[in-house]
Amino acid sequence: MTRAYTRRSSPFGRALRFTRTTLQLQRYDLAGAASKQYIGSLEQGVKSPTLNMVEKLAEAMQVHPLTLLVLTYAGTGLDDATEKLLSQVHSQITVLKDFNT
């Protein structure tokens, strides 16, 4: 019996595809950062990027790497989840700065 597997995109893959398509970019537009095949693998959730690759992809799309990471963790709905996550990160950074002083 052969079992069919359905690939599901990862949260990062959805964030990458959302950002790329919203900016009306094709995979080949990111060729300076990675091959079309690798970008497809990321978007399909087959591969996971390194932090260095996140930086390269973000640079190729002219967005901050944190944009991709926030969309990865908050989702691409651009709703209250994004604002809540950014607020949480800001609060945590403030606490860490206070610890350091």
Q: What pLDDT score was predicted for residue 93?
A: 94
Per-residue pLDDT of 62-89, as tens digits, reads: 999 999 999 999 987 777 888 898 999 9
Helices (H) and strands (E) in the chain, counts: 5, 0
* CATH annotation of 11-100: 1.10.260.40
Whether 35 shows a pLDDT value over 70: the answer reads yes
Q: Which has the closest alpha carbon to 66: 45, 38, 37, 90? A: 90
- Determine the average pLDDT of the residues in 36-49: 96
User: Which sequence spans correspond to the domains of the chain?
Assistant: 11-100
Q: Which has the closest alpha carbon to 12: 94, 76, 56? A: 76
Whether 45 shows a pLDDT value over 70: the answer reads yes
pTM score of the predicted model: 0.84
